[in-house]
Amino acid sequence: QSALTQPPSASGSPGQSVTISCTGTSSDVGGYNYVSWYQQHPGKAPKLMIYEVSKRPSGVPDRFSGSKSGNTASLTVSGLQAEDEADYYCSSYAGSNNPYVFGTGTKVTVL
Amino acid sequence: QVQLQESGPGLVKPSGTLSLTCAVSGDSISSSNWWTWVRQPPGKGLEWIGEIYHSGSTNYNPSLKSRVTISVDKSKNQLSLKVSSVTAADTAVYYCARVPFFFYAFDSWGQGTLVTVSS
């Protein structure tokens, strides 16, 4: 099971939007509506930001949104704020034999 | 509010066995959750290691399956990870995390513990 493909980096100025892609296959991203996104600040544990493609856990700002088309999922951060600067990872359910695969990670920089 | 706390030796010798424990508080290990291990080599991405349900049912990453064992201790409300025949490539921060049943996402994480494989 190969890692999902994400761009290494993305950036935007405060108040702007940034979108991160997460490309997999029909065996993972394209096959299930179980894509999730995690935010990780340096030295910290990942934090769940989006689950089931587009749902936000309680407490996550609505500036974070998710979507999916075919084998590619996307995370959009609108109204960028300084605290959004972090690494972001996608993950997808991939079936009972090897349930979870993570993306390669994207470093978001707020200019 | 569930809390997870990893613990174990921070240094393991090559060819040895890595052993970690994750203490769970604020939730029962016997509740409707999968309990998982994820690792992250320094400066690299996340890798799913495996998961266990309180019934003892397990799933492992095929790339690690031959070397990994995950177990639960209901009396202590904790889960454990063992990785045998370790090499420098197993050096990583190891996290335990919770996946609610039918949720398919990691909703709570421990703070992680760094394990270095070195002689």
Check CB contact under 8 Å for B110 and A99.
Answer: no
**Number of CB pairs, chain A paired with chain B, less than 8 A apart:** 62
Q: B65 touching A, CB under 8 A?
A: no
Do B91 and B31 form a contact (C-beta atoms < 8 A)? no
Two structure tokens written together for B81: 């990870």
Going from the C-alpha of A80 to that of each of A16, A18, A41, the distances in angstroms are 5, 8, 15
Q: What is the pLDDT of residues B75-113, one digit of tens each?
A: 999 999 999 999 999 999 999 999 999 999 999 999 999
Angle at B57 between CA A52 and CA A99, to 5 degrees: 35
Q: B59 touching A, CB under 8 A?
A: yes
Residues B8, B64, B51, A57, CA torsion sign: positive
- pLDDT band at residue A96, thresholds of 50, 70 and 90? confident
Q: A10 touching B, CB under 8 A?
A: no
Count of beta carbons in the 10 Å neighbourhood of residue B29: 21
Question: CB under 8 Å to A59, separation ≥6 — which residues?
Answer: none
- pLDDT band at residue A63, thresholds of 50, 70 and 90? very high
Picking from B80, B91, B109, the residue whose alpha carbon sits closest to that of residue B10 is B91
Q: B104 touching A, CB under 8 A?
A: yes
Measure A15 CA to nearest chain B CA, in Å. 28
Measure A87 CA to nearest chain B CA, in Å. 10
Question: CB under 8 Å to B24, separation ≥6 — which residues?
Answer: B2, B3, B4, B35, B77, B78, B79, B98
Q: A3 touching B, CB under 8 A?
A: yes
Going from the C-alpha of B57 to that of each of B34, B49, B70, B104, B105, the distances in angstroms are 9, 15, 10, 16, 18
Q: What is the pLDDT of residues B57-70, one digit of tens each?
A: 999 999 999 999 99
Lowest mean pLDDT among A4-8, A43-47, B3-7, B28-32: B28-32
Check CB contact under 8 Å for A57 and B61.
Answer: no
- Phi first, then psi: what are they for A90, rounded to 5°? -95, 165
Measure B11 CA to nearest chain A CA, in Å. 19
- Quick one: pLDDT at residue A1? 72
- Quick one: pLDDT at residue B75? 95
